Chains A and B, each alone.
Chain A
Amino acid sequence: MKLGDIAHSRAGDKGNISNLSLIPYNELDYLFLKKQITEEKVKSYFNERIKGSVTRYELPHLHAFNFVLEAALYSGVTRSLALDPHGKTLSSIFLMMEIDPEEYRKYRHLSLSKTSDNH
Chain B
Amino acid sequence: MKKQKAFIRIGSGAGYSGDLIQPAVQLTEEGMIDYLIFECLAERTIALAQLQKLKDPLLGYDPLLEERITAVLPICVKKNIKIISNMGAANPLAAADKIIEIAKRLKINKLKVVAISGDDVINVIKDQDYKLIESGDSLSVLKNQLVSANAYLGLRPIVEALKLDADIIITGRVADPALFMAPLFYEFNWDLDNSDLLGKATAMGHLLECAAQVCGGYFNDFDKKQVPNPQSIGFPIAEVTSDGHYTLTKVPNSGGIINKATCTEQLLYEIHDPKNYITPDVIADFTSVKFRELAPNQVEISGATGANKTGKLKVSLGYKDGYIGEGQMSYGGYQAKERASLALKIIKNKLQHLGLSKYDANYDLIGINSLSKDHGKETPDEIRIRIALRTKTKEEAIIVGQQVEALYTNGPAAGGGASKSVKEIIAVQSILIDENLPTIQLTTKTIES
Q: Which of A69-98 contact B (CB under 8 A)?
A: 76-79, 81-84, 89, 92-93, 96
Q: How far is the CB of A2 from chain B (nearest CB, A)?
A: 11
In the complex, are the beta carbons of A8 and B221 less than 8 A apart? yes
In the complex, are the beta carbons of A21 and B264 less than 8 A apart? yes
In the complex, are the beta carbons of A78 and B428 less than 8 A apart? yes
In the complex, are the beta carbons of A62 and B291 less than 8 A apart? yes
Q: How far is the CB of A109 from chain B (nearest CB, A)?
A: 23
| B261 close to chain A: CB less than 8 A | yes
In the complex, are the beta carbons of B427 and A89 less than 8 A apart? no
Taken residue by residue from 343 to 370, chain B's Cβ proximity to chain A (1 for < 8 Å, 0 otherwise) reads as 0000000000000000011101010001
A93 CB contact (under 8 Å) in B324, B371, B428 = B371
In the complex, are the beta carbons of A79 and B425 less than 8 A apart? yes
A64 to B428, CA, bound (A): 30
Closest to A47 in B: B373
A106 to B403, CA, bound (A): 57
A64 CB contact (under 8 Å) in B268, B388, B390, B429 = B268
Report the 5 A-B pairs with minimum CB-CB distance, sorted nearest first.
A12-B270, A21-B268, A81-B362, A81-B388, A83-B370
| B170 close to chain A: CB less than 8 A | no
Taken residue by residue from 50 to 64, chain A's Cβ proximity to chain B (1 for < 8 Å, 0 otherwise) reads as 000001010101101
In the complex, are the beta carbons of B303 and A61 less than 8 A apart? yes
Residues from chain A with Cβ under 8 Å of B430 in the complex:
15
In the complex, are the beta carbons of A19 and B272 less than 8 A apart? yes
| B286 close to chain A: CB less than 8 A | yes
In the complex, are the beta carbons of A21 and B303 less than 8 A apart? no
Closest to B384 in A: A83
User: How many A residues, CB 8 Å from partner?
Assistant: 36
In the complex, are the beta carbons of B270 and A14 less than 8 A apart? yes
Closest to B44 in A: A78
A89 to B372, CA, bound (A): 9
In the complex, are the beta carbons of A10 and B269 less than 8 A apart? yes
Residues from chain A with Cβ under 8 Å of B134 in the complex:
15-16, 76
| B419 close to chain A: CB less than 8 A | no
Do A10 and B268 contact each other (CB < 8 Å), given the known contacts A23-B261, A57-B273, A83-B371?
Answer: yes
Do A89 and B371 contact each other (CB < 8 Å), given the known contacts A12-B269, A62-B290, A64-B264?
Answer: yes
Residues from chain B with Cβ under 8 Å of A77 in the complex:
43-44
Closest to B389 in A: A81
In the complex, are the beta carbons of A10 and B218 less than 8 A apart? yes
A59 CB contact (under 8 Å) in B286, B364, B366, B372 = B286
27 chain-A/chain-B pairs, Cβ below 8 angstroms:
A8-B221, A8-B224, A8-B225, A10-B268, A15-B43, A15-B134, A19-B270, A23-B268, A25-B224, A25-B261, A48-B373, A57-B272, A59-B286, A61-B288, A61-B289, A64-B264, A66-B274, A68-B273, A76-B134, A77-B43, A78-B321, A81-B389, A82-B370, A83-B364, A84-B370, A89-B372, A93-B371
Q: How far is the CB of A91 from chain B (nearest CB, A)?
A: 9
Residues from chain A with Cβ under 8 Å of B267 in the complex:
62
Residues from chain B with Cβ under 8 Å of A25 in the complex:
224, 261
In the complex, are the beta carbons of A10 and B265 less than 8 A apart? yes
Taken residue by residue from 1 to 36, chain A's Cβ proximity to chain B (1 for < 8 Å, 0 otherwise) reads as 000100011101111110101010100000000000
| B126 close to chain A: CB less than 8 A | no
Closest to A5 in B: B224
Beyond A17-B272, A59-B274, 7 additional contacts (C-beta under 8 Å) are A8-B261, A14-B43, A21-B265, A55-B273, A61-B288, A78-B44, A83-B362
Residue with the greatest number of chain B CB neighbours at <10 A, chosen from A4, A23, A93: A23
A78 CB contact (under 8 Å) in B274, B275, B371, B425 = B425
In the complex, are the beta carbons of A62 and B390 less than 8 A apart? no
Residues from chain B with Cβ under 8 Å of A23 in the complex:
261, 264-265, 268
Residues from chain A with Cβ under 8 Å of B270 in the complex:
12-14, 19
Closest to B428 in A: A78
In the complex, are the beta carbons of B324 and A81 less than 8 A apart? yes
| B386 close to chain A: CB less than 8 A | yes
Residues from chain A with Cβ under 8 Å of B428 in the complex:
15, 76, 78
B287 CB contact (under 8 Å) in A14, A59, A79 = A59
Residues from chain B with Cβ under 8 Å of A79 in the complex:
321, 390, 425, 427
A12 to B272, CA, bound (A): 9
| B271 close to chain A: CB less than 8 A | yes
Closest to B218 in A: A10
In the complex, are the beta carbons of B265 and A8 less than 8 A apart? yes
A82 to B361, CA, bound (A): 9
Residues from chain B with Cβ under 8 Å of A81 in the complex:
324, 360-362, 388-390
Q: How far is the CB of A4 from chain B (nearest CB, A)?
A: 7
Residues from chain B with Cβ under 8 Å of A8 in the complex:
221, 224-225, 261, 265
| B426 close to chain A: CB less than 8 A | yes
Q: How far is the CB of B305 from chain A (nearest CB, A)?
A: 12
Do A93 and B221 contact each other (CB < 8 Å), given the known contacts A59-B274, A66-B268?
Answer: no
In the complex, are the beta carbons of B264 and A62 less than 8 A apart? yes
Q: How far is the CB of B229 from chain A (nearest CB, A)?
A: 20
Closest to B366 in A: A83
Residues from chain B with Cβ under 8 Å of A84 in the complex:
370-371
Residues from chain B with Cβ under 8 Å of A66 in the complex:
268, 271-272, 274
